[in-house]
């Protein structure tokens, strides 16, 4: 069995736990590999996180940002999230229990009894391009983010017009991402058990309230009078497009697969600032 490990960058506690986990895996004849940034912290050889799709399990040690980074490389491989004292919507395992939980997942995999849950992702596409899938949100905004950088935007759901006005941008968010950028822009919290997407306009002149739509809905954002527009996935992948243009955002065929225990959504809410 091959296990990929990603530790939060610049966090020595995460790096030490990654090293201890690697040693524990070696004792049960499981191969452990670490991403390049974690390898640099530990002074060992690492591999690109993009190669983690060849693993049987990925362990993310840190916060939700580390989990999202690991998920991009895992590409469908089950992920076990270890929470280092942050909000932890995606990371259900405490550091004290991390090694035991990892070894339990190894045993379950070998016995054919591993339990995995799927969490939806979304993907943005244009006329001749497609972005990587996003677990939290896709944002469409004007030439720059924030005041004075907006554009005229038209938002449709399954072809029906919902809103059209000048705005800083539009967020389309999964339930997992509702507590992130969406929340800071006035969007609602969505329980992970809800199968829906949230559409939230950002500082719209004459916008509509945030809207929850079915998980399988197609949301299109048409950008008109702007020199350029930017599409951003999970705050990491960016694409500049030339208006007038239509961006289609919908459920991805590639969900994130979660291993291990389930986090307590309401307990995690208590850690929000």
Q: Tell me the β-bridge partners of 84.
A: none
Please state, in angstroms and rounded to a whole number, the distance separating the CA atoms of residues 74 and 70.
6
Residue of 117, 72, 109, 73 whose CA lies nearest to 92: 117
- Written as six digits, the tokens of 32 are 């452990």
CA dihedral 128, 134, 136, 137 (to 10 degrees): -10
Annotated binding site: 64-65, 136-137, 166, 168, 176, 179-184, 203
Collapse the DSSP code of 271 into the 3-class scheme (helix H, G, I; strand E, B; otherwise coil) and give the result. Answer: coil
Of these residues, 64, 128, 132, 225, which one is catalytic?
64
Which residue is listed with tokens 């550091």? 95
Does the annotation mark 264 as catalytic? no
Annotated binding site for NAD(+): 64-65, 136-137, 166, 168, 176, 179-184, 203
- Written as six digits, the tokens of 212 are 């929850």
Residue of 260, 271, 270 whose CA lies nearest to 61: 260
Torsion 215-217-218-223 (CA) sign: negative
Whether the CB-CB separation of 72 and 236 falls below 8 Å is answered with: yes
| β-strand pairing of 57-62 with 79-83 | parallel
Which residues have a catalytic role annotated? 64
């Amino acid at each position: 069995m091959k296990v990929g490990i990603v530790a939060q960058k610049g966090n020595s506690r995460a790096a030490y736990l990654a090293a201890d986990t690697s040693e524990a895996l070696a004792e049960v004849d499981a191969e452990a590999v670490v991403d390049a940034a974690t390898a640099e912290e530990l002074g060992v050889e690492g591999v690109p996180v993009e190669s983690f799709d060849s693993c049987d399990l990925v362990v993310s040690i840190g916060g939700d940002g580390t989990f999202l980074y690991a998920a991009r490389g895992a590409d469908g491989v089950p992920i076990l999230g270890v929470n280092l004292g942050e909000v932890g919507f995606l990371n259900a395992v405490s550091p004290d229990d991390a090694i035991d939980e990892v070894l339990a997942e190894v045993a379950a995999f070998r016995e054919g009894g591993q339990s995995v849950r799927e969490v939806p992702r979304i993907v943005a596409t244009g006329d001749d391009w497609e972005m990587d899938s996003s677990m939290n949100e896709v944002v469409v905004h004007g030439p720059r983010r924030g005041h004075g950088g907006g554009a005229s935007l038209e938002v449709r759901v399954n072809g029906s017009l919902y809103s059209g006005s000048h705005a800083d941008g539009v967020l389309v968010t999964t339930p997992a991402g509702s507590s992130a950028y969406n929340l800071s822009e006035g969007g609602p919290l969505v329980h992970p058990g809800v199968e829906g997407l949230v559409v939230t306009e950002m500082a719209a002149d004459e916008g509509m309230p945030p809207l929850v739509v079915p998980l399988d809905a197609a949301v299109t954002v048409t950008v008109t009078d702007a020199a350029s527009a930017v599409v951003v996935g999970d705050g990491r992948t960016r694409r500049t497009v030339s208006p007038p243009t239509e961006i289609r955002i919908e459920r991805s065929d590639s969900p994130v697969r979660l291993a291990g225990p389930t986090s307590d959504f309401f307990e995690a809410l208590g850690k929000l600032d």
